[in-house]
A = this chain, B = another copy of it.
Amino acid sequence: MTGAPLNIALIGSGFMGRAHTLAFAAADRTFDLPRSPRVTILADRDLGTATAAAASLGIARASGDWRETIADASIDMVAIATPNLLHAPIAIAALEAGKAVYCEKPLATTIAESEAMTAAAAASGLPTAVGFTYLYNPMIVLARELIAGGEIGEVTAFRGIHAEDFMASADAPFNWRCEPDQAGGALADIGSHIIAMARHLVGDIAAVSGRLHTVYPMRRDARGADRAVTVDDQMDAVVEFANGATGTLAASWIASGHKMGLAFEVSGTRGSIAFTQERFSELRLYRSGPGRTNGFTTICAGPEHGDYGAFCPAPGHQIGYNDLKTIEVKAVVEAAAGLPSAAMSFADALAVERVTDAIRRSHREGCWIGLQAAWAGASAASISS
């Protein structure tokens, strides 16, 4: 580490605020970062809350006013871990104040806000980052390298799902994730991960035809009141990528039996790659060849892969979810330091949200939604009729 410390203002002291604080510290311990991240101010909705949280998290200063915090000249980057509705105003203000911004996903609760944030980022020329933690997994880094290196030929299909079951029971309570105003629903809440993965590995999505399904139209909230649910419990879509590949995307928080089932298979003309987050230290790779000893090879994560070696010098020992967050934060710090970085930017997050939005529109209108001007739909040359 050679540069000056990277002074960070953290806005929000809930679960994610704590996670950010721990991740910055872990990244600093684990990696040789270009600048040492230091969370120096914690802002929250009032000074009392902020002060208590800052003490607990070992942060020197506290503030009850995020606007004041953002304006602080000592701050290099603003980390946003507030409720989703506040993402846009804070991020835009921070960018206008000349700060790099690291924002939790989703970027915002409407496409318009996300577009405004992305425009503000572009106008400022400042680094931005959004946490799509699963993309930083060394095995996903490997998958991306393999695909980019042509190891599976031309990509022809991507089929993926993000399946969990924390809402599978009729008794699962109504919560903020059930609120459409909070970017709720399985599609937005967890489907965004599989959409981000698809884009990360295969590229832009050109068109979608999707279907939302609310299995439980009524859930009881924590106070015992029946609440109408208008967001989706599960989503299924057919997609076409800009490069011509086709496939399916799905998301479900009622997928009984799945705890962290972010799973996909990418098929190519000369091979395939399969993955599930429930065994995220493994990647299954098939390369075409004579059948006698060919098949899917299960690759086990080790120091050859991405940043694994920063956590353990020997293969097979496994890193954990929090280590993925640590790798994510490393990328954020590198981006904030102006270096080439694997961090997902606001533009990346906006692209994901455009797909989310297109799937919702597709469901509502009962038709395909094109995401790219060039999308020629059913008349595309390489598609048979």
Whether, in the assembled complex, A124 has its beta carbon less than 8 Å from a beta carbon of chain B, the answer is no
**For window 244-264 of chain A, which residues contact chain B by CB distance below 8 Å?**
244, 246-248, 250, 252, 254-261
Stretch at the interface among A42-50, A61-69, A271-279: A271-279
Among residues of B, the one whose C-beta sits closest to the C-beta of A257 is B286
Query: With A211-B209, A363-B378, A366-B378 in contact, is A311–B322 under 8 Å at CB?
Result: yes
Given the complex, which residues of B lie within 8 Å of A159, measured CB to CB?
161, 236, 248, 250
Query: With A22-B29, A156-B254 in contact, is A246–B211 under 8 Å at CB?
Result: yes
Whether, in the assembled complex, A384 has its beta carbon less than 8 Å from a beta carbon of chain B, the answer is yes
A367 contact from B22, B255, B312, B367, Cβ within 8 A: B367
Whether, in the assembled complex, A51 has its beta carbon less than 8 Å from a beta carbon of chain B, the answer is no
Interface contact A256-B237, CB-CB below 8 Å: no
Give Cα A170–Cα B268 distance, bound, in whole angstroms: 12
A291-302 contact mask (Cβ, 8 Å, vs B): 1 or 0: 111111111101
A218-261 contact mask (Cβ, 8 Å, vs B): 1 or 0: 00000000000111111011111000101110101011111111
Interface contact B252-A288, CB-CB below 8 Å: no
Whether, in the assembled complex, A354 has its beta carbon less than 8 Å from a beta carbon of chain B, the answer is no
Q: How many copies does the complex hold?
A: 4
Q: How many residues of A contact B (CB 8 A)?
A: 110
Give Cα A225–Cα B379 distance, bound, in whole angstroms: 26
Give Cα A159–Cα B277 distance, bound, in whole angstroms: 18
A-side interface residues toward B, CB under 8 Å?
15, 22, 25, 29, 142, 146, 151-154, 156-157, 159, 161, 164, 166, 168-170, 185, 209-215, 217, 229-234, 236-240, 244, 246-248, 250, 252, 254-261, 265, 267-272, 274, 277-281, 285-286, 288, 290-300, 302, 304-305, 311-323, 360, 363-368, 377-378, 381-385
